[in-house]
Copies of this chain bind each other. A is one copy, B any other.
Amino acid sequence: MSTDSVTVHGYSTSGNCHKVRLVLEQVGRPYQWIEVDSPNGATRTAAYLAKNPNGKVPMLERADGAVLTESNAIICWLAEGTPMMPTDAWQRAQALSWLFFEQYSHEPYVAVARFVRGWTPIDSPRRADLPRLIERGEQALAVMERHLGRHKWFTGPGYGVADVALFAYTHCAADGGFDLGKFPAVEGWLARVGRTPHFVPMPLPHDDVRTLLAQH
């Protein structure tokens, strides 16, 4: 593993961005964090789009200016050569499978429900989507619950990248209106993740977001 310092462009209370911070802390790699106000258009400026034409956070930048995007690709690169990434080819593929599950079947519902509740106005038409987001998000949580009936972690025999990716928005699913009490194995796994060495919690959202999240 390289120990060169890297720069992360991220929005701290985004689960996708927090994945990167958590892996950096847990593998002990030095980094600089540049806060990007993505909900208010900071990823849509010409300067940002020149580096990431897809206009999203997080983005990792090396000292030589080379850029890597997509949270799950970033954490795989950071974890390579550490215990957080399996070495066995089949187990790596299983970890990758969970990473794709997270981005396709989990994040678009569990994370988006949180975003709609906390980052859109109380009268936003997007709030009409919430029942469908909850239904589909619960399907993803049920798949996780079932896996945890037979396994301790998602990455492999040990904790690693797939656990980080799934932790990112599962641990704050209540913000989106999910009842994690229905998924006791998921709750147990969340607690185990929180006890891993060098774990850092995701910062709380700003006050205006917390006010919206508190309204039911």
Interface residues of A (CB under 8 A from B): 53-54, 66, 68-74, 76-77, 80, 89-90, 92-94, 96-97, 99-101, 103-105, 107-108, 142-143, 146-147
Q: Is the CB of B66 within 8 A of A90?
A: yes
Most buried by B among A92, A94, A104: A104
In-complex Cβ contact of A97 among B69, B97, B107 (8 A): B69
Nearest CB to that of A56 among chain B residues? B105
Q: Bound state CA distance, A73 and B94, in angstroms?
A: 7
- B97 with A68: CB separation less than 8 A: yes
Q: Is the CB of B68 within 8 A of A93?
A: yes
Q: Which single member of B66, B69, B103, B142 contacts A103 (CB below 8 Å)?
A: B103
Task: List 6 additional A-B contacts (Cβ < 8 Å) besides A73-B100, A74-B93.
Answer: A53-B143, A66-B90, A73-B99, A74-B97, A100-B100, A103-B103
CB within 8 Å for A100 and B53 given contacts A89-B80, A90-B77? no
B54 touches A101 (CB 8 A): yes
A65 → chain B closest CB, angstroms = 13
**Distance between Cα atoms of A107 and B143 in the complex (Å):** 22
Asked if B70 and A97 sit within 8 Å, CB to CB, the answer is yes
Q: Cβ of A53: which chain B residues have Cβ within 8 Å of it?
A: 142-143, 146-147
Closest beta carbon of chain B to A151's beta carbon, Å = 13
Q: Which residue of B lies closest to A146 (CB)?
A: B53
Of all A-B residue pairs in the complex, the 7 with the closest CB atoms, nearest first, are: A77-B93, A73-B97, A70-B100, A73-B96, A70-B97, A53-B143, A103-B104
16 example contacts (A-B, Cβ-Cβ < 8 A) are as follows A53-B142, A54-B101, A68-B90, A68-B94, A68-B97, A69-B97, A70-B96, A70-B100, A70-B104, A73-B94, A74-B97, A76-B93, A77-B90, A100-B103, A103-B104, A104-B108
